Structure 1
Amino acid sequence: MKSIHPILVQILIIQFLAALCVSQDFDFFYFVQQWPGSYCDTKQSCCYPATGKPASDFSIHGLWPNYNDGSYPSNCDPNSPLDSSEISDLTSRMQRSWPSLSCPSSDGLKFWSHEWQKHGTCSESVLDQHGYFQSTLNLQNKANLLQILRNAGIQPNGGFYSLDSIKDALTQGIGYTPGIECNVDKSGNSQLYQIYLCVDTSASNFIQCPILPSSRCSSRIEFPSF
């Protein structure tokens, strides 16, 4: 029997693994929003995007495929870079709802490209590029986090609130328990940073989280102004 050339074997293995990764199954999405005041109020600081200071509201960080055990796939298809023409009709909404606060100031495309490459490519069996970003924007419209917190008397005014009160308000407002992540301000105070909601694999409906991320929060946390 004629043997297969070793280089051909390597190519076939690479193609197989790439196809396997692209079709990677996952169990749910984390839909992650961040408070810009907490992103900026750290030693790292921030830079406003080229379009100016974002609104004083929670902004999108990303939509991340996850497994029920807490692990997650990433960078599943290196041959699928973000094509900005695919999301041209969404760009203005994304600049408002999904701004980049990293330095130097930018138009957001690098941030969105990173989110697509690391996370979006792992959901290509469900969502194409336009669908990935469209679904994420739709999810933000379904969960008005700031209004829910304000209705419970929790305001972004630099005050301190119990972690339980924030979690309870969001649970009642959304119907599912959120994950809360904190970071630390320049004075060393624990502050409300990111809120994780879980979404089904169609990227359409909120669900109860199979697993919640580590909070790294104190029992009382600051909600800084922005």
Structure 2
Amino acid sequence: MKMQSNNHFLLIKLLTLHYLLVLSASQDFDFFYLVQQWPGSYCDTNSSCCYPTTGKPKAEFGIHGLWPNWNNGSYPSDCDSSNPFDASEISDLMSQMESEWPTLSCPSNDGLKFWGHEWNKHGTCSESVLDQHEYFSTTLNLKTEINLLGALEDAGIHPNGSEYSLTSIRDAIKVASGYTPYIECNKDSSGNSQLYQIYLCVDSLGSCFIECPFVPGERCGASTKFPSF
């Protein structure tokens, strides 16, 4: 009788553990940041940039990454070392990757190091929703839904080295997307603030844009430069 009681107690513990593991897996993260960067601002810094072997990227916003985040502002990273980046998984996406997700770091290459970093650090933390191919294809598809440069230029904001108010930049993207972006700036080689990255938030399934549950502290002044490329 005691043996049956112990077995029953052990079964309850195992079922409870299984439930907690399933619950934990479903709460890996709360939303994504889709982060896109302006190449002119990446290159116009003291560290400069290098073009990939395919040549100078297009003068448009390029993907930086799709980053899982929690609602409190923290984020998971490097979640599964047993599933590293494998270029063969995205062989059918390679031409799109080179065009829409170009690398600008020095020394530049074919992008594999950049994409591998994004998968290993961020993508592995979304495995409960997206496998490796889906992670990259989803990001590419999300980028096509909103033309950031087109939205800015429609509002009279052009990459010509002029300064624009942060409010006008934010409003232009909100008009085009329906959602409020987070704007990140960096410093050019002379120390001036310039438009660098634009964050839009995506639901935890990677299926649609949402209003951001959390945004970092501002890194821009009231106005910022939009450099050419």
Q: What pairs up with 1:1-226 in 2 under 5 angstroms?
A: 23=25, 25-226=28-229
Q: 1:157 corresponds to which letter in structure 2? A: N
Q: 1:179 corresponds to which letter in structure 2? A: Y
In structure 2, distance between residues paired with 1:142 and 1:193: 20
Map Cα deviations across residues 170-190 of structure 1 (whole Å, 9 max, x no partner). Answer: 111100100000000011110
In structure 2, distance between residues paired with 1:185 and 1:128: 37
Q: Report the alpha carbon displacement of residue 95 of structure 1 after superposing the two structures with TM.
A: 0.3
In structure 2, distance between residues paired with 1:148 and 1:64: 23
Q: Secondary structure of 1:61's match?
A: strand
In structure 1, distance between residues paired with 2:216 and 2:144: 23
In structure 1, distance between residues paired with 2:118 and 2:134: 14
Q: Report the alpha carbon displacement of residue 67 of structure 1 after superposing the two structures with TM.
A: 0.2
Map Cα deviations across residues 109-133 of structure 1 (whole Å, 9 max, x no partner). Answer: 0000000000000000100000000
Q: Relative to structure 2, which stretch is displaced further, 41-50 or 206-215?
A: 206-215
Q: Specify every segment of 5 or more residues in structure 2 that has no aligned partner in the other structure, as ranges.
A: 1-20
Q: Secondary structure of 2:97's match?
A: helix
* Root mean square deviation of aligned Cα: 1.5
Q: Report the alpha carbon displacement of residue 60 of structure 1 after superposing the two structures with TM.
A: 0.1
In structure 1, distance between residues paired with 2:164 and 2:86: 42
Aligned length: 208
Q: Report the alpha carbon displacement of residue 214 of structure 1 after superposing the two structures with TM.
A: 2.3
Q: 2:160 corresponds to which letter in structure 1? A: N
Q: Which runs of 4+ in 1 moved over 6 A?
A: none
In structure 1, distance between residues paired with 2:142 and 2:31: 14
Map Cα deviations across residues 89-114 of structure 1 (whole Å, 9 max, x no partner). Answer: 00110000001100002000000000
Q: 1:204 corresponds to which letter in structure 2? A: S
Q: Secondary structure of 1:62's match?
A: strand
Flag the structure with larger Rg.
2
Equivalence for 2:18:
none
In structure 2, distance between residues paired with 1:214 and 1:95: 31
Q: Secondary structure of 2:90's match?
A: helix
Map Cα deviations across residues 137-164 of structure 1 (whole Å, 9 max, x no partner). Answer: 0000001000000000000011100011
Equivalence for 1:9:
none
